[in-house]
Amino acid sequence: MLFIPNFSSGYNLKNYLENCAPLLIVVCGLTFITFNGGIDFSITSVISMGSAIGAYVMVYSPFQSELASTILGVGTMLLIGFVTGYVNGLSVSRLKMPSFVATLATMLIGSGIAVWFASVLFEKTSISGLPAMFLLLGGSDESFWIPILIAAIVFLFSDWLMTKNIFGRQVFAVGVNPKAAAVSGISVKKTVLLLSVISGIYAGIACIIYTARNGAGIPTLGSNMFINIVGSVIIGGTSPTGGSGSMRKSLYGVLFLVLIDKILNLLGTPYVYYDIIKGLLILLAAMFEMTIRRINAKAAAQAARQ
């Protein structure tokens, strides 16, 4: 990295942190779901749907005040995330649907609504003219620190929730063995529902920052983000089967994956190779994680026999 031209310039470092911020937020949400051995495909549709509908609400707000319009738009994006997460949670916890089925369905529905809303109902591919106050949330001009601060608060809260709060122990218990967790008095259904809601709300927060950074509501904003989101979780070392991992590992995954993007960009690597390289990294990380788990399992079995 030291030999890459302009890598350590102030502009590149600022841009690097700005790229990490919204990704870290949505990755924290998916990490909660992964702790439980689940997956959430719908987070990308929350970003797309929230961006289109939230932008429309702000641009055509009945309020004259920028502050009121911004609050209305932000509230809309968060509400979309909450509702999507709640539907996912009910589908998994009450209807016993596999998380990949439930969230795949809500992803398709959400993405379809976003495209329909913008291209059919509104007849535009993007919705511009957002309030200047809202654009500050994306780090425009001298406010680059705002999304970084928001991401830091979300990460620290998530890490505290998993390491210093009884909720974190309940999440890991449910992820390792739901039946044993239920016998010990943990409400498995409530835990699964809360995890889905948290993931949806975090996707809504990320949607706010991504939309503000782009300066417009884009109905396909989240369509190509899933590989970076799930890749950060897997590369960070959080087990996709549940029961192990940490928020800090996901933070390392985000920093590493965005760093790879930055390096490839500065080296002039053709964009068509980006996904190939990321895919290989995710595969290697998953293989490494499974190998370590098998080694640990064998060591534990040998120790038990002795």
- pLDDT tens track for 202-259: 999 999 999 999 999 999 998 889 989 998 998 888 877 777 778 999 999 999 889 8
pLDDT digits (tens, 9 = 90+) for 18-43: 999 999 999 999 999 998 888 999 99
Q: Of the ranges 48-52, 78-82, 248-252, 293-297, which one carries the lowest mean pLDDT score?
A: 293-297
189: Cα within 13 Å, side-chain hemisphere: 7
The pLDDT of residue 172 is: 85
The pLDDT of residue 181 is: 83
Residue type, 166: I
**What six digits make up the tokens of 81?**
């995330």
Q: How confident is the model over 195-205, as a mean pLDDT?
A: 96
Mean pLDDT of all residues belonging to the chain: 87
pTM of the model: 0.90
Spatial separation of the C-alpha atoms in residues 58 and 50, rounded to whole Å: 12
The pLDDT of residue 216 is: 92
Beta bridge mates, 127: 217
Which of 167, 220, 237 has its CA nearest to residue 45? 220
Q: Is the pLDDT of residue 10 over 90?
A: no
Domain spans of the chain, in order of start: 10-223
The pLDDT of residue 7 is: 63
The pLDDT of residue 141 is: 67
